[in-house]
Chains A and B, each alone.
Chain A
Amino acid sequence: MRPSRPVARSLLTAGALASSAALNAAPLAFVTNQGPDNVTVLDLESGKTLATVAVDKDPAGVAWDARHRQIFVSNPSAGSVSVIAADRPDQAHSFATGESPLGIAADPTRDRLYVADFYSRRVDIFSTRDFSRRGSFKLGNTPSGLAVTPDGHWLAVANRDDDTLALIDLRSGQPAAEIAVGGHPFGVTIAPDGKTLFTANVTSNDVSVVDLDARREVRRIRVGEAPYASALDVKRGRLFVTNQQGSTVSVISPFTGETLATVNVGDYPEGIEYSVTRDRIYVASWFDNALYEINPESFKLERTMACGDGSRAFGTFIAE
């Protein structure tokens, strides 16, 4: 059974906060915990929990807004998004969205946040300065994961139940393409050059590699059972994919289609991201309530950091 919601209070230690804010060097991970409705803030150098901050019901998605050094968290059962400042990770405040916000991404070039509304075939747009609503884009069925190209030109959204990837031109605000991918695409990852995109396809057990210029799927790579999301090791050009039903992470070469390794992790791995600063992969396990650190060279699981019940971290959860 899910534990009841704890009294909203900061578990932050003043010393830890002061050193993290002052040095400002260590990357932080913000892991959403669905059970206790909070976020575990981890210092990825020390592996220590800096804070546990209360948000709204069933937090799931996360987006790092590097422009304003803040983290956004989607709360699909509350119809809200919570904001946490990276330098004050002991407090959060929230604002209302549509009824079912899930996938969430901050625009790297504009003061905009994009929030996929799972039941409403819509991505809502919010200001990352005053959090006011600034319109919305029409999408297909159950818009899920989303990502923005580094140049801010394109917003890519997985329409899970349509088996497609929608591309929206953020300069014109118009839909540009709908690209067929594998079965039930969920997590979306874009390579730093903004030209290659990966969707994790839950029901076809594979990853679609999409050429954004050609606007088509160029390769389909088999991974484990019920893939959820992916992270690109930008140093080595390898893709790490969480397999929810396999309790594993697949390591693949997205450009040759080769499988390099399968790493055992906890049950129901969900969010996954690569930290450039740490040169490590981080994976959240929803059933086992932890964040794992994987060495991208040896593929060894090097560290386990305890989080709250039902850790998800779906999105860009590392602040660096």
Chain B
Amino acid sequence: MLRRFALALCCVLPLAATAHGPSRQKVEQEITIKAPAAEVWALVADFCAIEKWHPGIAKCEGTGGNEVGATRTLHVGKADGPVIKEELLIHDPEKMTYKYKITQTDVKILPVTTYAAFLTVVDSGDGNSKVVWKSAFYRSWGKANPPADQNDEAAIKAVTGTLEAGLANLKKLAEK
């Protein structure tokens, strides 16, 4: 019985993580910051620094630093809060950008699947900068007729809120 359960788990989980509907969604947010790009990049460059600049992340546990394949486990709201796990796909300090994907989410707080995003700092040329956060994902509900808390609108709303809150706080920190 146990063995059968383990077998079912091994083969069902990867599918659940990647099976999704026909229409990918996107959310792109940006914010202008009155601080040089290099200073803003220094705040966000470390993959696990998100615990310092994103107000929704209470704690980050990282492995692998800023190498491709590095991971971060995010505790949302409080140190023992719901967990979101992410993996670093690209980290390019020269272009001041990194790309990551979500490998495990909690659908109650972020009802998405196959989520990947770029976080990029752009030099505006006048001592100011712009931070662009581009994300693409599918709603977590991989079948027809999603419940209201797992439809496209719910996924877009949750991601938009996450990006907006992070960028607003990053601006506050950087302009201090």
A interacts with B = yes
B interface residue numbers (CB < 8 A to A): 15, 18-19, 21-27, 89, 101, 116, 118, 134, 136, 143-144, 156, 160
**A-side contacts of B160, CB under 8 Å:** 1
User: Within A136-185, which residues are at the interface with B (CB < 8 Å)?
Assistant: 142, 161, 184
A118 touches B21 (CB 8 A): yes
**A-side contacts of B22, CB under 8 Å:** 58, 60, 76-77, 100, 102, 118
Choose one: A99, A161, A267; the contact of B134 (CB below 8 Å): A267
> Is the C-beta of A268 less than 8 angstroms from some C-beta in chain B?
yes
> Is the C-beta of A310 less than 8 angstroms from some C-beta in chain B?
yes
> Is the C-beta of A253 less than 8 angstroms from some C-beta in chain B?
no
Please, how many angstroms separate the alpha-carbon atoms of A145 and B19 in the complex? Answer: 15
Provide the main secondary structure of the chain A interface.
loop
Q: How close is A226's CB to chain B, nearest CB, in angstroms? A: 9
Please, how many angstroms separate the alpha-carbon atoms of A217 and B19 in the complex? Answer: 23
A100 touches B144 (CB 8 A): yes
The 4 A-B residue pairs with the shortest CB-CB distance in the complex, in nearest-first order: A76-B22, A119-B144, A102-B22, A58-B23
**A-side contacts of B118, CB under 8 Å:** 267
Q: How close is A227's CB to chain B, nearest CB, in angstroms? A: 14
Please, how many angstroms separate the alpha-carbon atoms of A38 and B29 in the complex? Answer: 24
Please, how many angstroms separate the alpha-carbon atoms of A102 and B160 in the complex? Answer: 27
B136 touches A268 (CB 8 A): yes
Given contacts A1-B27, A99-B144, A100-B144, 10 further A-B contacts (CB under 8 A): A1-B160, A58-B22, A60-B22, A76-B22, A77-B22, A102-B22, A245-B89, A245-B116, A287-B136, A310-B26
B19 touches A287 (CB 8 A): no
> Is the C-beta of A203 less than 8 angstroms from some C-beta in chain B?
yes
Choose one: A77, A142, A184, A286; the contact of B24 (CB below 8 Å): A286
Choose one: A77, A161, A286, A310; the contact of B19 (CB below 8 Å): A161
Please, how many angstroms separate the alpha-carbon atoms of A1 and B156 in the complex? Answer: 7
**B-side contacts of A80, CB under 8 Å:** none
Please, how many angstroms separate the alpha-carbon atoms of A171 and B111 in the complex? Answer: 44
Choose one: A2, A34, A99, A184; the contact of B18 (CB below 8 Å): A184
Choose one: A76, A119, A203, A268; the contact of B23 (CB below 8 Å): A76
Q: How close is B25's CB to chain A, nearest CB, in angstroms? A: 8
B18 touches A268 (CB 8 A): no
Chain A residue nearest to B25 in the complex (CB):
A2
**B-side contacts of A267, CB under 8 Å:** 118, 134, 136
Knowing A100-B144, A245-B89, A287-B134 touch, does A268 contact B15 (C-beta < 8 A)? Answer: no
Give 1 or 0 for each of A119-141: 1 = CB within 8 Å of chain B CB.
Answer: 10000000000000000000000
A-B contact pairs, 24 of them (CB 8 A): A1-B156, A2-B156, A34-B23, A60-B23, A76-B21, A76-B23, A77-B23, A99-B144, A100-B21, A119-B144, A161-B15, A161-B19, A202-B18, A203-B18, A245-B89, A245-B101, A245-B116, A267-B118, A267-B134, A268-B24, A268-B136, A286-B24, A286-B26, A286-B136
Q: How close is A315's CB to chain B, nearest CB, in angstroms? A: 13
**A-side contacts of B143, CB under 8 Å:** 119
Please, how many angstroms separate the alpha-carbon atoms of A99 and B136 in the complex? Answer: 24
**B-side contacts of A161, CB under 8 Å:** 15, 19
Q: How close is B30's CB to chain A, nearest CB, in angstroms? A: 13
Please, how many angstroms separate the alpha-carbon atoms of A100 and B23 in the complex? Answer: 10
Q: How close is A264's CB to chain B, nearest CB, in angstroms? A: 13
Give 1 or 0 for each of A75-107: 1 = CB within 8 Å of chain B CB.
Answer: 011000000000000000000000110100000
Please, how many angstroms separate the alpha-carbon atoms of A99 and B143 in the complex? Answer: 11
**B-side contacts of A286, CB under 8 Å:** 24, 26, 136
